[in-house]
Chains A and B, each alone.
Chain A
Amino acid sequence: MKMIRNRLAVQLQRHVLQMSMSTNAAAAAAPAEGAAISEFRTAVTNPGEHSALQVAKFYTIPAEQKKQIFAGGGLPKQYEQQIKTFTEACLMVRNPALEVLEYIKKADLSKPVVRYLLYGENGTGKTLTMAHVLHYGALNDFLLVHVPWAPNWMKRPKEASNAAGQEGMIDLPFDAAAWLVHFKGQNSKLLQRLELKTSKEYVWSKRESTPAGSTLLELVEHGIARIKYASETTAALISELKLLSTAGKCKVMVAIDGYNAFFHPVTRIFSDNKQRVTPDKITLTHPFLNITRYDWTNGVCILSVDKIAMTEGHMDSYMPRYLLGTEGFEHLDPFVPIHVENYSDKEFHSYISYYLDRHWINKTPQGFEEQLKFMSNKNPYALMQLVRAL
């Protein structure tokens, strides 16, 4: 464990050095790459090309890509509303996202999977950082395994039923089916192109089975059609993806928001005896715990832990060790922690200019920016709330 961690640390350090050298070279070579339309926007829409030049600038996600990637979730509700009002999906390029993207670009995919863990206070931008990275993954032929908000399964399942195959486990049929639809929507083109096949036969019941060698698309569609077996289909799909990526046939990007929900002591789901169930009694948790292990290659894992992802109770700290608990920490150890912070002054000013440009802030007496800075403490969510009324 420690050796791997040291090796990772050394690799990362080397990559960071390379990154800094490359950006200098890039800056010298292509000064017109940023081509800023105004001081807070940038025309570069490919996250793969974002560099330190574009920090604190907004880039637009084209509408079709946004629909493809985020149709099943992934952007916060209020952000969706903002997109609708401003008629464009703009994301700010920030340092945590750039860091993750650099690590992914420079990573050696033949080595075991690296897990990146985003953590931070409420409302600092973890979900949107993940969205940025997802966009990159979608454009760069990664198969996306994306759980928009894990606690939704623990807190508000559409329906919970006893699992057919395993004793004492609980199934979430509708949620699993919904996730499969989301997976299909995100990855349909890639799946069709790559033509990935299952390695073994899956028997669902006496009369139903999926033979070996069928495409993953068929597996997914089976899961959507037969909701009863959706959870098992998910498990099967995930294990297939692991095998296929280790074999080198595809790259997989795993993105799970609110990962600490899988390690919380309780959920809001009741078993038959009217008792609360722990997350490991739910069939859906296991595939995603499985895929976040480091026993496969050719992929990358981005996870986030959040105070509000817990099911019940109040969390005192936003630190990963506290939120994941012993079990979760041991499962995820080693990982790369990435701290997402409040805005810097430059980012704050950029966001205010964006709001002014979109006619969202209308009351602008002298010094209103400093007042907003003071009141919101440069927290993105707080800023959004405060600006509602201006």
Chain B
Amino acid sequence: MSFLTRIVGKSTSFSGIRLMSVYPQHYVEPIVQKDKQIEQKDELTKLHHIPIKAALNKSSDTVFHDDTKEKLLNYITKKGNSALARTLLSKAFELIKRTQTERLNLAKGDKDKVITNAEVLLKQAVENCRPLLQVTAIKRGGVTYQVPVPITTKRSYFLAMKWLLEAAREKERKVSLPEKLAWEILDAAHGQGRVVKRKDDLHRQCEANRAYAHYRWS
């Protein structure tokens, strides 16, 4: 038995605690955005007496920061190179803006409908790609069924962003990630493209496997 498991054994039997964290167990996550602090004003009085962990390096409350962007940055980051991820994402946003500005300039009729705000488009894209159910493999009597199962909000956002990135990474090598990602986000924001199709396929599969839904509890 490694000494790690020995330490684990010695810790209390309470589950859900991060082992070997630098902070003692009663420390609480910080609420970095001012808007969120104002929203949760009533619950904040409970936190008066509880110490709070330090804010991370990547989080801030400036105009450059956005929650969805931060999550997406984490998924793009490889081997801890978040600076590169940030550059790639800002290039992708630049391309989105350029395409949309061109469309805006060419649009003869209603100019208000064309959105040039890349963050808003990203949020729309993620919303359009979010699945509502997912399938899990459940084995009953030797047969593995694909059973539709509800999904938490966090996981649905995670899946949406992961699919966007996967679709972006799939294309040919010559095309760079920012370009591909920009196309994918634009497509998804308008309800077209591969990622929305993937979500629809998943929904169709769930609908088709409705009969097995009770296997969840069996």
Contact = CB atoms under 8 A, between A and B. Distances in A.
B43 to A, nearest CB: 25
A83 to B, nearest CB: 12
A389 B90 contact: yes
Interface in A52-111: 81, 85-87
Contact of A389 (B93, B98, B101): B93
A2 interface: no
Contacts of A371: 62-64
A20 interface: no
A114 B101 CA distance: 44
B195 interface: no
B117 A362 contact: yes
B102 interface: yes
A359 interface: yes
A363 B123 CA distance: 14
Given A359-B104, A359-B116, A389-B93, A365 B98 contact: no
Contacts, number: 46
Contact of B101 (A85, A363, A368): A85
Contacts of B120: 362
Contacts of B101: 85-86, 358-360
Contacts of A189: none
B98 A81 contact: yes
A390 interface: yes
A30 B211 CA distance: 84
B203 interface: no
A368 B66 CA distance: 14
Contacts of B104: 359
A152 B94 CA distance: 27
A368 B61 CA distance: 11
Interface residues of A, number: 20
B89 A389 contact: yes
A282 B108 CA distance: 54
A386 interface: yes
A388 interface: yes
B116 A389 contact: no
Contact of A362 (B62, B89, B118): B118
A363 B63 contact: yes
Of B63, B89, B105, chain A has the most CB atoms within 10 Å of the CB of B63
A141 B4 CA distance: 81
A198 B216 CA distance: 92
Contacts of B116: 359-360, 362
B97 interface: yes
Contacts of B93: 388-389
Given A87-B105, A389-B89, A389-B118, A360 B97 contact: yes
B67 interface: no
Interface string A350-390: 00000000111011010110011001000000000110111
A358 B97 CA distance: 11
Contacts of B117: 362-363
Given A81-B98, A360-B101, A362-B117, A388 B91 contact: yes
Contacts of A386: 64
A385 B94 CA distance: 10
Contacts of A363: 63, 117, 119
A385 to B, nearest CB: 8
A338 B14 CA distance: 70
A364 to B, nearest CB: 8
Interface string B28-68: 00000000000000000000000000000000001110000
B177 to A, nearest CB: 15
Of A367, A371, A375, A389, chain B has the most CB atoms within 10 Å of the CB of A389
Contact of B98 (A85, A368, A375): A85
Contacts of B91: 388
A77 to B, nearest CB: 13
Nearest to A78: B94
Contacts of A365: 63
Nearest to B66: A363
B63 A85 contact: no
Nearest to A374: B62
Interface in A155-195: none
Interface string B72-106: 00000000000000000111011001100110110
Nearest to B62: A371
6 contacts: A85-B97, A85-B101, A360-B101, A360-B116, A375-B64, A388-B97
- For the complex of A and B, 3 pairs with smallest distance between CB atoms: A362-B117, A389-B90, A388-B94
